[in-house]
Amino acid sequence: MTRRLGLVVLLLLGSVAASRAAETPAGHVEDPVFGFSVDLPAIGDATDAITVQRLVVAGPTVKGFAPNCNVQIQYTDLGLDSYMELSRKQFVAAGLELLKQEDREISSHRATAMEYAGSLGGNDLHFSALVVAGAGRVWLVTCTALESSFAQHRASFARVLDSFRVTASGEPTGGAAGAVAGEDGGGRAGQ
């Protein structure tokens, strides 16, 4: 039943976005493990968006949880330092523990890689994440697995984070970037 529901959702998304995707190429994904390729749909206009969840990839569900990775773009003028400070406060509020943090540079942007863990939704989870701050936005790549299976996914998750790049088309061109508070605080990043 779950597979059928997923197929129906995918077909509906494809039919709604097919004409726009043909007009505006939005990328392409090839998956040799599960044997398919698909064009990404050009869905919506990010001009007034605060957050866009652009990519979600999940593996097979084991013990009630599917290991997953996602890419989210948050339109905010918070710099990396303020964004990370807000994230640390949110971790504490959610009962999550920051295990590792490493500064990086991704595509000439300041970035932070981190691991954190805790119990959410009745599951003991372990996360690997990459936060990349650019003018007017933050790219957040997060990979999640059950704590009990994280070790078997660690290398794969590290490849995902290490492969992330900001492309020229990903650079801000205006829109909602300035609509959310700046470096002085009060922004909505990380919500």
Rounded mean pLDDT, 109-126: 97
Q: Is residue 186 situated within a structural domain?
A: no
Q: Are residues 33 and 55 in the same domain?
A: no
Q: Are residues 57 and 124 in the same domain?
A: yes
- Phi then psi for residue 161, to 5 deg, are -65, -45
Q: Are residues 81 and 1 in the same domain?
A: no
- Domain span at residue 64 reads 45-179
Domain total for the chain? 2
Q: What is the pTM of this model?
A: 0.75
Question: CATH number for the domain including 88?
Answer: 3.40.1000.10
Q: Which of 1-10, 39-48, 143-152 has the highest mean pLDDT?
A: 143-152
Q: What is the pLDDT of residues 149-187, one digit of tens each?
A: 999 999 999 999 999 999 876 654 443 333 333 333 333
Burial class for 143, CB neighbours closer than 10 Å (0-12, 13-18, 19+): buried
Q: Calculate what percentage of the chain has a pLDDT beyond 70.
A: 75
Dist CA 163 CA 106 (whole Å): 10
Q: What is the pLDDT of residues 40-84, one digit of tens each?
A: 888 877 778 899 999 999 999 999 999 999 999 999 999 999 999
Q: Are residues 38 and 117 in the same domain?
A: no
Q: Are residues 59 and 148 in the same domain?
A: yes
Rounded mean pLDDT, 124-143: 96
Joined together, the tokens standing for residue 180 give 């959310």
Rounded mean pLDDT, 92-120: 97
Q: Are residues 113 and 85 in the same domain?
A: yes
Q: Is residue 188 situated within a structural domain?
A: no
Residue 140 pLDDT greater than 80, yes or no: yes
Q: Are residues 138 and 109 in the same domain?
A: yes
Give the E-state strand segments of 40-187 in sequence order: 51-58, 68-74, 97-106, 109-120, 123-134, 137-146
- Looking at residue 160, what is its pLDDT? 97
